[in-house]
Amino acid sequence: MFVDNAKIHIESGRGGNGSISFRRTKYVPNGGPDGGDGGRGGDVCFIADTGLNTLMDFRYQKNFKAEPGADGSGSNRSGRDGKDLVIKVPVGTLVRYGWADKNSDRQTGFVMADMTVPGEKRVLARGGRGGRGNQHFATPTRQAPRFSEDGKPGKAYDVTLELKLIADAGVIGFPNAGKSTLLSRVTNANPKIADYHFTTLSPNLGVVRGDSFKDFVLADIPGLIEGASEGAGLGFDFLRHIERTRLLIHVVDAARLEDDTLTPARAVEKINRELFAYNPELLKRPQVIAANKADLALSDEWMAELNAYAGKNNWPVYIISAATGQGLSELMRGVAKVLADYPEGVVFEPDYEAFFEAESREAAIAVDSVRDGYYRVEGPGIERILGYTNMADERGFAFFQRFMREKGIIDRLKQLGIREGDTVQIYELEFDYYE
């Protein structure tokens, strides 16, 4: 089964906790603290695997969690790092932040990774840092620290996987125009071919081998009819695959029957209208028109209209018969020539680093007034300090108060009008404020 969309949850491993320990040796009366550090949590990595061509593996498994780091122990022994979780996806998989509804706004959510290079590896959820043991907190005035750091939590994201097949040229057109027959004649692909609409229910790929030109990948894109960009027919389930092609081949039925009202020129125009409604950038790609079924009677009037329409846009027109093979060699050579002049390194998606830049901006500490007499302090910075500090220890709590003053959090609370006796919530903890 061809599956090109999946929603999953990924979570990196939590860091191990630092240890509180003191050296106890018979002949070493002042051994001091020797608590080891916690291990780093495992990362969640995605790798583009050429052996996969569908997201079927994610149809039933939805949750992926890396291994947490082990806790530290005495004698300065650090905990073991958690194992990284490697998730293999097909080449051409797009990883978006959030579970966007594919039938609404396909651009919802940051692009976390665009897996277009075979074998490339992306770390999308880094494991939590291990907490430091109490050995790190010893000072000349604090020789026996009875606190350590807790491990930092891992990152957790709901992500949407979208598979967009990568091909040099995409074969598009209305149902029964002969797209699958064309693919089967010029490549070794074996798509299903039958005399009814929507025979092809999933994209097919094939490689065109040439003696006089460079080989290229050809994709048969099914399901395009008028209204496809709004969900008609197969909807835009497969329109996303066109976005990864460098050239478009319009296959149109040029054989005129008595009840035909859709001319080849109008067919190309309607398909382009759907492409523009889906993504206006698609019309900037080079296009080639293949007038199919030349083995049947072609209309001079229709061909004149098609040539005039194509000429306005500088699109070459090839008369072919996918059934008999007529004109296919000329068509493939023409496509190869256009591809040779078109850049390969086309960036089809925005830079995924935008996601991590946005995430880093969220590291600030937020101080808000929830209601009269009640304030809330949140943010990764304050959350990290809470995890590092033993609030039950008097010196640990004093360290936390000093952090609040040095970071200006107390001043920001005063600016919001905090008074003695008011409540400050910091995640699951609540404090009464006093000067």
Residue 362: closest CA among 376, 385, 379, 386: 379
Confidence label for 431 from pLDDT (cuts 50, 70 and 90): confident
pLDDT at 261: 67
Residue with tokens 């027109």: 317
Q: How does residue 81 score in pLDDT terms, banded at 50, 70 and 90?
A: very high
The angle that helices 179-186 and 328-340 make with each other, rounded to 10 degrees, is: 80
pLDDT digits (tens, 9 = 90+) for 109-132: 677 888 888 898 988 888 988 988
Lowest mean pLDDT among 44-58, 294-308, 310-324: 294-308
How far apart CA 72 and CA 80 sit, in angstroms, is 8
CA pair distance 316, 347, nearest whole angstrom: 25
**In terms of Cα–Cα distance, which of 128, 126, 123, 124 is closest to 37?**
128
Tell which residue, 378, 390, 388, 361, has the closest CA to residue 425: 378
Contact 427, 386 (CB under 8 A): yes
Q: Which of 1-5, 82-86, 257-261, 406-410 has the highest mean pLDDT?
A: 82-86
Residue with tokens 């929603």: 7
Report the pLDDT value the prediction gives residue 348, as an integer from 0 to 100: 56
pTM (2 d.p.): 0.64
Cα 236 from Cα 240, distance rounded (Å): 7
Using the 8-state DSSP alphabet, how is residue 406 labeled? H
Mean predicted confidence (pLDDT) in 253-258:
66
Q: Which of 64-78, 149-163, 222-236 has the lowest mean pLDDT?
A: 222-236
Which whole number is the average pLDDT over 190-213? 62
Q: How high is the pLDDT of residue 83?
A: 95
For residue 423, is pLDDT > 80? yes
Are the C-beta atoms of residues 282 and 221 closer than 8 Å to each other? no
Q: Length of the chain, please?
A: 435
Report DSSP state, residue 298.
Answer: B
pLDDT score of 196 more than 50: no
Q: What is the pLDDT of residue 103?
A: 45
β partners of residue 51: none
In the numeric block, the tokens 């492409």 are attached to 275
Measured distance CA(162)–CA(349) in Å, rounded:
12
pLDDT of residue 227 exceeding 60, the answer is no
Rounded CA separation 359/231 (Å): 33
Q: What are phi and psi of 397, to 5 degrees?
A: -70, -35
- Is it the case that residue 80 has pLDDT exceeding 60? yes
CA atoms lying within 13 Å on the CB side of residue 350: 11
The pLDDT value recorded for residue 430 is 86
Res 70: pLDDT: 95
CA 3/CA 142 separation, integer angstroms: 60
Count of other CB atoms within 10 angstroms of residue 105: 9
276-306 exposure pattern, b = at least 16 Cβ within 10 A, e = fewer: eebbeebeebbbbbbbbbbeeebbeebbeeb
Give me the torsion for CA of 50, 56, 57, 63, rounded to 10°: 120
What are the Cα distances from residue 65, in Å, to 9, 89, 90, 117, 131? 8, 16, 20, 25, 20
